[in-house]
Homo-oligomer: A and B are copies of this chain.
Amino acid sequence: MALHTTTLELSTQGDSDIIDITHRVQEELLNSPLSDGLVTVFVPGSTGGVITLEFEPGLVHDLQEAFERWAPRDHDYRHDRAWRDGNGHAHVRASLIGPSLSIPFKERKLILGTWQQIAFVDFDNRPRRRVLILQIMGE
C-alpha cells in the first residue's frame, strides 16, 4: 500500500460553474505508481464542491437551477450583511454539496458508470483560480 498526493489547477467562471474533471483525475492516476485503490478529490475552500453527474448541458442547467432553489442567491444572508462580499449563497451551497469525494479505481482506471463524470462546482460569485487536492491511496 502506498500514498500519492498531487494537485489539480483550474480556472472557473464562478456562479455555480460545473467543470468536468474526470479526464484530469484519470490522467493523474496514470501518473501515479498505483494500480488499485481509492482517489479522494478534496476542495480546500468553503465555496466549492465535488459531485458526480451525467455531464451533458441539460443536466448542468438543471443542477444549477436546483442550487438556486436550495439556496437562492437573493436571500438575505447574515454572512453578506457582515462581510459584504455577496456570496452567502455560495457558502451555503458548498456546505450542502460537500468538499470531498472518494472514487475507487482498478487497473489504473477510475470505476465510474458509463454516463457518470466527476465535476468540480465553483459556487463563488466571481471567476476563480482553484487548486484541488487529489489523494490517491492503494497498491
Contacts and interface: CB of A to CB of B under 8 A. Distances in A.
Which of A58, A95, A116: most chain B CB closer than 10 A?
A95
Contacts of A3: 1, 36-37, 138-139
A91 interface: yes
User: How often does this chain occur in the complex, in copies?
Assistant: 3
A92 interface: yes
B115 A42 contact: no
A23 to B, nearest CB: 17
Size range of the chain A interface in the assembly:
35 or more
Contacts of A77: 58-59, 62
Contacts of A88: 58-59, 62
Q: Which of A46, A78, A96, A111 has the most CB of B within 10 A?
A: A46
